[in-house]
Structure 1
Amino acid sequence: MNSRYDACVVLNYYAPYTSGLTRVAMDVAESLAARGKRVAVVASRHDPALPRFEVRAGVHVHRARVAARIGRGVVSPGFASLAGRIARRSDVVNLHVPMLEAGLVARAAGPTPIVVHHHDDVWLSKGVTAKAQIGVVDASVAAALRRATVVVVANLDHAKSSRHWGIMEQRKVSAVPPPCRERGPGAPAYRDGVGPHVGFLGRMAPEKGLHHLVRAFLDWDDPSARLLLAGDEGVAGGDVVAHLRGLASGDGRVRFLGRLEESAIADFHASLDAFALPSVAEESFGITQTEAMMSGVPVVASDLPGMRVPLQTTGFGELVGSGDADGLRAALRRVCRYPAERRVAGAASAAAAFGMQSTLDSYAAVLEAAASGT
Structure 2
Amino acid sequence: MPDRKYDLTLAATHYEPYVSGFTQTARSIAEGMANRGWRVAVVTAQHDPDLPLRDTVGGVDIYRSPVLMRASRAIVAPRYPILAGQLARSSSLLHVNLPMPEAALLMPLARRVPVVSMLHSDPHLPAGWSGRAFARASDVASRAAIRRSAAVVASSHDQAHASRFWPVIRNRNFTPITPPCLDRRGGEPRYRETGGLHVGFLGRIVADKGVGYLVRAFQRIVDPAARLLIAGNYHEVAGGDLMAVQSEIDRDSRVRILGELRGREVNDFYASVDVFALPAVASSFGTVLAEAMMSGIPSVTTDLPGNRYPVAATGFGRVVPPRDPQALERAISELAAVPRHWKEQKARAARARFSVAASLDAYEVLFTTLRGRTAAR
SS of match in other structure, 1:282: coil
**2:141 maps to 1:140:** yes
Q: State the partner residue of 2:299.
A: 299
Please give the alpha-carbon distance, in whole angstroms, between the structure 1 residues aligned to 2:249 and 2:235: 20
Give the unaligned 5+ runs of structure 2: none
1:243 positional shift: 2.5
**2:331 maps to 1:331:** yes
Q: State the partner residue of 2:47.
A: 46
Q: State the partner residue of 1:270.
A: 271
Q: State the partner residue of 1:355.
A: 355
CA contact (8 A) 1:277 1:289 kept: yes
Deviates more, 1:80-89 or 1:364-373: 364-373
CA contact (8 A) 1:71 1:236 kept: no
Tell me the alpha carbon deviations over residues 39-98 of structure 1, each in whole angstroms, 9 at most, x when there is no partner.
Answer: 110000011000000001111100001111111110011000000011001000000000
Q: State the partner residue of 2:89.
A: 88
Please give the alpha-carbon distance, in whole angstroms, between the structure 1 residues aligned to 2:3 and 2:158: 41
Please give the alpha-carbon distance, in whole angstroms, between the structure 2 residues aligned to 1:204 and 1:110: 38
Please give the alpha-carbon distance, in whole angstroms, between the structure 2 residues aligned to 1:158 and 1:2: 37
CA contact (8 A) 1:12 1:44 kept: yes
TM-score, scaled to structure 2: 0.96
Q: Between Structure 1 and Structure 2, how many residues are aligned?
A: 373
Q: Which runs of 4+ in 1 moved over 3 A?
A: none
Tell me the alpha carbon deviations over residues 175-229 of structure 1, each in whole angstroms, 9 at most, x when there is no partner.
Answer: 1000011112222111111111100011111100000000111122111111000
1:246-261 equivalences in 2 (<5 Å): 246-261=247-262
CA contact (8 A) 2:352 2:358 kept: no
Please give the alpha-carbon distance, in whole angstroms, between the structure 1 residues aligned to 2:176 and 2:339: 33
CA contact (8 A) 1:205 1:235 kept: no
Q: State the partner residue of 1:11.
A: 12
SS of match in other structure, 1:110: coil
Please give the alpha-carbon distance, in whole angstroms, between the structure 2 residues aligned to 1:125 and 1:160: 24
CA contact (8 A) 2:74 2:134 kept: no
In angstroms, what is the RMSD of aligned CA positions?
Answer: 1.4
CA contact (8 A) 1:204 1:235 kept: no
SS of match in other structure, 1:55: strand
1:235 positional shift: 4.4
Q: State the partner residue of 1:74.
A: 75
SS of match in other structure, 1:107: helix
1:2 positional shift: 6.8
CA contact (8 A) 2:8 2:93 kept: yes
Q: State the partner residue of 1:289.
A: 289
Please give the alpha-carbon distance, in whole angstroms, between the structure 1 residues aligned to 2:175 and 2:260: 33
Q: State the partner residue of 1:171.
A: 172
Q: State the partner residue of 2:56.
A: 55
Deviates more, 1:80-89 or 1:235-244: 235-244
CA contact (8 A) 1:218 1:248 kept: no
CA contact (8 A) 1:43 1:79 kept: yes
Give the unaligned 5+ runs of structure 1: none
Identical amino acids, percent of aligned pairs: 39
In structure 2, what residue type is equivalent to 1:370?
L
In structure 2, what residue type is equivalent to 1:346?
K
CA contact (8 A) 1:53 1:62 kept: yes
Q: State the partner residue of 2:125.
A: 124
